[in-house]
Structure 1
Amino acid sequence: MHFTVLGAGAMGLRYGVLLQEAGNQVDFVETWTPNLEKIHQQGGVYVSRDHQNRHLVPVTVVTPEDYHGDPDVWVVFTKQMQLADFLSRTAHAFNDHQYVLTCMNGMGHVEKLLNYFQPEKLLAGTALVATVLNGPGDVDFIGARGAGTMNLANYTEQPDDMTHKIVTELKKCQFNPNLTTNFRGTLLAKVVFNSVVNTLCTLFEITMGEFAAYPGADDLSRQLIDEAYDVCERDGVTMLNTREEELASVNYVSQVANPLHYPSMYQDMSHNRPTEVDYINGYLVRLGQKYHYDAKTHAFLTHLVHLAETTRQAAASSTSTVTQKQAEA
């Protein structure tokens, strides 16, 4: 099959490289200039697994404006705040026979994708797969091969032959895909997971294992899970897991699967990039407001993340100013 990945970041590279290794034709489309230039300079991307066996994998990557391929499936892994511009710049290459698969964090991407793709050809889901972009053209797959899992569903909740073909290719890559017929429940399962682990690990600059080792971790997780489930149930969503199963998932991934991993929100924060908290905890807050439910804990954490972003950016700006003055002197 022919796949084209929008966004050659950590997760985009992981999916694309493994799909390529499974025998598929894979192209990458990227907008981050340092990443594009580094990959072109190297002739590919350097790939490690758990900081070991770093090797160069040849890949094809271009800007949206320079892409003129016709893939069977688009694989979308951009940040939520970048997606609208990314899609607009790539729209000349979209057509009615193409499918699109996305496992982006947060909520808000589905509506944007439906502006370009037919509902029956939209597959979305969640990926419990840890990956780190060390820098331009350098990615690290965290965890043993086959350790991650993913859930996905058709927007129409009616899987067709092409859906099953896509799932088959994902199985070859050992992503362990679970095809469901519960679209919103599938997406919101990861939102709830991320609203706990991503946000708390980011605020305290700790790994998932360090969070899980805290004696009060279960109490923190339960409070956030309960509040999120209260919101989702008011919106008529049937969740994939019970509340206790969701807590068990948080604990398993944090304690066993990826204890040394810093979540993607932390990676953004540590590089002074905007986080996706408004699409995760903030989304749950806004959804609750529709039903006059106040998700107070999620609202508080959303504010805390933005406060941390603001203070870090101010500190970085101050340091840059001092450095510039020293250079001028």
Structure 2
Amino acid sequence: MLRRLPGIAAFSCTACTAALGLLLSCGLPVALGAAESGEALPEWLQQRPNDPQHLYGIGEASGENARELSRTLAVVDISEQLVVSVRSSRESESESEVVVDGDEEVVRLRESLRRQIRADSESHYLPGVEIVAQQRQGDTVYTLARLSRQRFSQAVQERVEALDGELEPIARLEPELTPQTLQRWRRAHDLSAEREQLAVLLESQGTRLAAGPIAFEQVRSRIGRLAQGTRLQLEGSAQAPAVRDSVLDIVDTLGLTVISDESATFQLRLRERSRSRVVGDWTRVTITGAITAVDRVTGEVIGSLEHSVEKSSVQGEEEARARAREALIEEFGKILQQRLLPLLAGQGR
């Protein structure tokens, strides 16, 4: 009995259907055998071709769209071999260091490859996949796909050059984090992450890339958690109305969004406290506003900001409090305009 190939069974037909554009874009001839159920299985299915110049993938599928799905699974099989080669190259670097499937870099690379195959009809990772042969036996279709190692390395290096072209001007930006530079740094985060993954892939094939304009870790250190999103959840708004209004006045200009659901990246815990005293005919009110930023995923406190204002009035405490509240909204808003983004990026500790 034929056993389903490792690494293929885990992919559902629904996920694979999204990748058909990649295979159809190859535009290469396919040898489709009209084998009957009693005909012997092709030799390449029983023994995977061994060719140092190519990587081969084998896929099988049954039912509706079996021909297209088996093609997709054959390409997925190639991608899994690339990930295995990455892991093998990492293991060979040090006899004392064992890299397992759970290794963060390998896991990230595997998921990136899978996303590319599922969603990108012109994948940078698997360019020029050839469908070498395809054979039907009963309701099952078997596909043999091939990827040239040389063409793969060349295409990936071309992609790296394109990434470097986008990263170079970003790497020259001033270190100050502003709404304008934040969007570019978030773009650099994605580009440098992809470049790092491609470098690992090429290294597994025997090619080592020179350093790029800016490393992924440098970008992460610049924008920190802002790489994951700019959505804020406010806690304590009712008890700290002046602080709340300070935040709401500046979020749009900073490129941030306030939401109420659980998909927020950050939680801002708002606090206010006040005290009043009478000096002769004057009533003086001091209001202190504070914000504590928390990572919504980990619950870790990132940092905090605090500001106090004092206002006086001969018309009593209510008037003095209103003046202090208005001043806090304006002054704290200016502080947040300058310091909230660095705080969320982890630079405000």
Q: Tell me if both proteins adopt one fold, taking TM over 0.5 as the criterion.
A: no
> TM range, normalised to the smaller chain?
under 0.3
Give the number of the structure whose residues are more often helix, by fraction: 1
TM-score, normalised to structure 2, is 0.26
TM-score, normalised to structure 1, is 0.27
Give the number of the structure whose residues are more often strand, by fraction: 2
